[in-house]
Amino acid sequence: MAIRIEHLEYVYSAGTAFERKALKDINLTIGDGEFVALIGHTGSGKSTLIQHLNGLLRGTSGRIFYKDEDIYAEGYSMKALRTHVGLVFQYPEHQLFETDVLTDVCFGPKNQGLSPQEAQREALWALEQVKLEKSFYNQAPFDLSGGQKRRAAIAGILAMHPDVLILDEPTAGLDPQGRDEILGLVKSLHEEQGITVILVSHSMEDVANYASRIVVMDHGSILLDGTPKEVFAHRSELEAAGLAVPQVTRVMDDLAQEGWIVDRNVTTCQEAAAQILNALHKEKHVQA
Amino acid sequence: MLRDITLGQYYPADSVIHKLDPRVKLLGTVLYIVSLFVFGKPVNYLLAAVFLIILIRLSKVPVSFMVRGLRAIFILMLITAVFNLFLTPGTVVWQLWKLKITKEGIRVAILMVIRLILLVMGSSLMTLTTTPNDLTDGMEKGLGFLKKIHVPVHEIAMMMSIALRFIPILMEETDKIMKAQSARGADFDTGNLIQKAKSLVPVLVPLFISAFRRANDLAMAMEARGYHGGEGRTKMRPLEYHRNDHIAYLVLAGYLAIMIAAKMLT
């Protein structure tokens, strides 16, 4: 088990007029090598939750275990935890600061205590993983495009060799092509490096094709937890939480209601196309 | 952590003080502060304290909120008190080697601390009951006469309200950047002063870049909406004096008269 969360609660601005409960009794276990998508409407607590996983926020109550060790135990090194659980924030602008991309990516490994040469080796490896072209290595990070900045930011975390990679809305503000590239990159990291991935998003379309498990959050608690098919079967609950099932699932659901013999729980276009063709085929035969 | 600062925070409530014209509150605060410095007798401090307590009562701002603002200047109060306690010449009450406490020292130290408390509470009463926008509006109109000697009053007021508006945004941004760098193993708490200063570079660079970007966007957005400085600009809610404002001026005059009388008579 990579991460286990037990009865985690978090209260913002405790004791003031602005007190707000952001997390309510969260129980969640994430296994080694899983690809989990954490989905929720804006303000559902998903970003708050992931900041607990590497100790940036400390729960008001409850416990978190990383590899069966209590991270709130006395003497547990948060700094060490942060090298195991890498967190890439939503805005790459918040972490890029050096004069060139390569030096910037070296920042993490250097903080881990590696020598400049070793740090550079890790940085080069990480940049290769995120498929950033070599010509960008010596450019200022601020001259890169949105998608390239995001790659540089991911490389900055990857260079520290985390076992768990958490990405907070990695596709926000990217065009469709950039989005597919980043998500494809995350998927290949998951498959090739065996990294446990937690992907935070509010777009069902994004995660349906990539994640093997979806956790839906609403108002600070976990609403649904299961495979994409299981989760998308709860269309009305998702819509009540301000989320939509992928368009293709919606189309199939509507077709099924119209009396077509198709599977309601379809999550990808390919599956849907096969199902529809199949149904049309049968119809044709019946007519003939 | 950074969000806990209350000095200069607005506390929304429905009270007489909240509804006063910001110009009244501005002038009132200035006169109140001046009165604390000009009239230095204990009886004056007592009167000033009573006046302030009545105002706080009227403003409906919880006292705990006002007191929280004092925490920020606790160190300053402590230093002031200690210096006055030990360095005021006069009749010695207690002595240890070269350190001596005098009767006059105790008196001055206590009065200084009271003065500081009244000062901070008096000015936070203004900021707690006036929105930053009202405050700069009041300043712009109240100091409008300076335009005649070519002081860019409107521009200064606009800069102030923008600066005030951006403080919480930049604080939040700092928080986010610090978290993003902590996630990369940055350490802001350990090390000596030079190491600590160095560890802030990864925070300051993104912060400055984002501040400049925001400033650029804001300037563009303002121009897109036709902003061209104060010339010929009208207000949605122009400041006008009402009955309560006139009464407030009278109360203020009365307060000053009592303070002068108290100083003369004692």
Which of B183, B185, B201 has the CB atom closest to A56's CB atom?
Answer: B183
Report CB contact under 8 Å: B185, A79. yes
Q: Band of the pLDDT at B2, cuts 50, 70, 90?
A: very low
Q: Is A56 on the interface with B (CB under 8 A)?
A: yes
Annotate chain A with DSSP letters as a single string: --EEEEEEEEEETTTSTT-EEEEEEEEEEE-TT-EEEEEE-TTSSHHHHHHHHTTSS--SEEEEEETTEETTSTT--HHHHHHHEEEE-S-GGGT--SSSHHHHHHHHHHHTT--HHHHHHHHHHHHHHTT--GGGTTS-GGGS-HHHHHHHHHHHHHTT--SEEEEESTTTT--HHHHHHHHHHHHHHHHHH--EEEEEES-HHHHHTT-SEEEEEETTEEEEEE-HHHHHT-HHHHHHTT----HHHHHHHHHHHTT----S---SHHHHHHHHHHHHHHHHHHH-
Find chain B residues with C-beta within 8 A of A94's C-beta: 173, 176-177, 180, 206, 210
Output the average pLDDT for chain B.
Answer: 85
CA-to-CA distance for B187 and B199, rounded, in angstroms?
7
pLDDT at B221: 95
Q: Band of the pLDDT at B124, cuts 50, 70, 90?
A: confident
Q: Is A115 on the interface with B (CB under 8 A)?
A: no
Report CB contact under 8 Å: B202, A157. no
Q: What is the mean pLDDT of residues B85-105?
A: 79
Report CB contact under 8 Å: B184, A51. no
pLDDT at B207: 93
pLDDT at A244: 79
pLDDT at A17: 63
Report CB contact under 8 Å: B176, A142. no
Q: Would the pLDDT of B1 be above 50?
A: no
Find chain A residues with C-beta within 8 A of B173's C-beta: 94
Find chain A residues with C-beta within 8 A of B209's C-beta: 93, 142
pLDDT at A165: 94
Low-confidence ranges of chain A (pLDDT < 50): none
Q: Would the pLDDT of B5 be above 70?
A: no
Report CB contact under 8 Å: B210, A97. no
Q: Which of B138, B118, B2, B6 is nearest to B51 (CA)?
A: B118
Q: Band of the pLDDT at B7, cuts 50, 70, 90?
A: very low
Q: What is the mean pLDDT of residues B122-141?
A: 86
Q: Would the pLDDT of B8 be above 60?
A: no
- Asked if A23 contacts A220 with a C-beta cutoff of 8 angstroms, the reply is yes
Per-residue pLDDT of B135-159, as tens digits, reads 888 888 888 888 888 888 888 888 8
pLDDT at B125: 87
Find chain A residues with C-beta within 8 A of B181's C-beta: 95, 107
Q: Is B12 on the interface with A (CB under 8 A)?
A: no
Q: Quick check: pTM over 0.80?
A: no
B-chain residue closest to A107, CA distance: B184
CA distance B179 to chain A (A): 7
pLDDT at A16: 65
pLDDT at B6: 47
B191 phi-psi bin (left φ>0, alpha ψ -120 to 50, beta other) = left
Report CB contact under 8 Å: A86, B180. no
Q: Is A160 on the interface with B (CB under 8 A)?
A: yes
Q: Is B202 on the interface with A (CB under 8 A)?
A: yes
Helix axes B243-265, B22-38, angle to 10 degrees: 0
CA-to-CA distance for A59 and A72, rounded, in angstroms?
9
Q: Is B180 on the interface with A (CB under 8 A)?
A: yes
Report CB contact under 8 Å: A97, B182. no
Q: Is A13 on the interface with B (CB under 8 A)?
A: yes
Q: Band of the pLDDT at B228, cuts 50, 70, 90?
A: confident
pLDDT at A66: 92
CB within 8 Å of chain B, chain A residues 62-91:
79, 82-83, 86-89, 91
Per-residue pLDDT of A180-211, as tens digits, reads 888 999 999 999 888 999 999 887 877 888 88
The residue of A16, A95, A157, A160 whose CB has the most chain B CBs within 10 angstroms, and thus the best one to mutate to test that interface, is A95
Report CB contact under 8 Å: A97, B180. no
A222 phi-psi bin (left φ>0, alpha ψ -120 to 50, beta other) = beta
pLDDT at A10: 92
Find chain A residues with C-beta within 8 A of B187's C-beta: 79, 111
